[in-house]
Structure 1
Amino acid sequence: MQLKNERLIGPHEGQEFDLIKRGDKTLAYFGEDSVSMNEKYQKAKELGLDELEFYFDPIEVDENIILPRHKAVIFYVTGYEQKAKRLEKLLIEAISLFRVSSKSKYLAGEREIGELLGYSKKQIDAYIDFQDDLLTKIAEKKLRNDLNACGVIR
């Protein structure tokens, strides 16, 4: 049964701490660009959560997209440190695999990330479909650009 207002992409956004408090989730991940990081640290402290901070190195996705080095944090329930470390490893791998040549490995990693973050299979499948479509569009654009640069198409 699908709920009428069920969000399949980013369904936990803004609800992470409530889900942890209820016991429905053990990890929450936030990138440096998340709004109100100080508030998130304060809320995590109030809930007695542990934290794992790490950095993503810059990576060139394609000639037009460069992801800069940035900080991220995983807040987790005490006792789930290994799960948090696995999530950190997968997130770092996902950034470096965000290329069509590594598409299947990237999507497999994204699936495990979704599982670790407590998403339903349906939500994960929707996100994987979204990412697969995005990678396909990036590949098609790169192919068109490469063919154009070689003079094959104009």
Structure 2
Amino acid sequence: MKTFFAATIALSMLAAPAMAAPYDAGHAGKPGMGQSQGHPGSQQKPQTLKPIVQKPVVQKPAPKPQYSYNGRKYDAVRGPAWNAPRGYDAHRNWNRGQKLPAVYRNKSYVVDYRAYHLKKPAYGYQWVRINNNVYLVKANNGLVSQIVFNLFY
């Protein structure tokens, strides 16, 4: 049994170079494996590869963020950079019924309601921007009565 395996391995090692040699090696001018003979006397034209032309990838623009107000959807607005007042947290969210500090009711945080499809505030109220949200607050004490989330992005 050992001699059978040894003989098989020896034969496979001897046959490996012959298997690796091309079919037409040593037969110059004669068609090799995979080549067509064509008609006698005709010359074959070398095949040229066509360059691969890739179509440009067209990316769809990302949809604009939207906000909802009074049952309608509007496109969010890219507003100017917003900075929190000194000493206050820039990422704090306020809820209805809470009172904003007087610093947030400053003119620099007040928003023009007409430019952003917001309803006209009642007498004594104003729209105030805090981060990306807009709050309707009472001007004299800062009581939050309405919130529009993500008006700015």
User: What's the TM-score, normalizing by structure 2?
Assistant: 0.23
Per chain length, whose mean CA-contact separation is higher, i.e. which structure has more relative contact order (CA < 8 Å, sep 6+)? 1
**Larger Rg over CA atoms:** 2
| Higher relative helix content | 1
